[in-house]
Amino acid sequence: MGKFPIADRALLSIWICKKCKARNPAGSKRCRKCDWTKLRPKRAKKKEAKGK
Ligand SMILES: [Zn+2]
């Protein structure tokens, strides 16, 4: 207990801007704040597809 499934899910659907760290909806192509295109899921996985 002590965990909040809903909050957990919310985190999964949030992407963080690598530049300004603003939160964006998952799937965003660019940061809505600074227009940066490098976003990453809130829960960064070790295996990150690079390139391509
Ligand atoms: Zn940003």
pLDDT digits (tens, 9 = 90+) for 17-35: 999 999 999 888 999 999 9
- Sign of the four-CA dihedral 44, 14, 21, 18: positive
For ligand 1, the distance from its centroid to the CA atom of residue 12, given in whole angstroms, is: 18
Give the pLDDT of residue 3: 75
For ligand 1, the distance from its centroid to the CA atom of residue 7, given in whole angstroms, is: 22
pLDDT digits (tens, 9 = 90+) for 42-52: 875 566 566 65
Give the pLDDT of residue 34: 98
**CA distance linking residue 35 with residue 46, whole number of Å:** 25
pTM, entire model: 0.62
For ligand 1, the distance from its centroid to the CA atom of residue 6, given in whole angstroms, is: 25
Average pLDDT over residues 8-23: 86
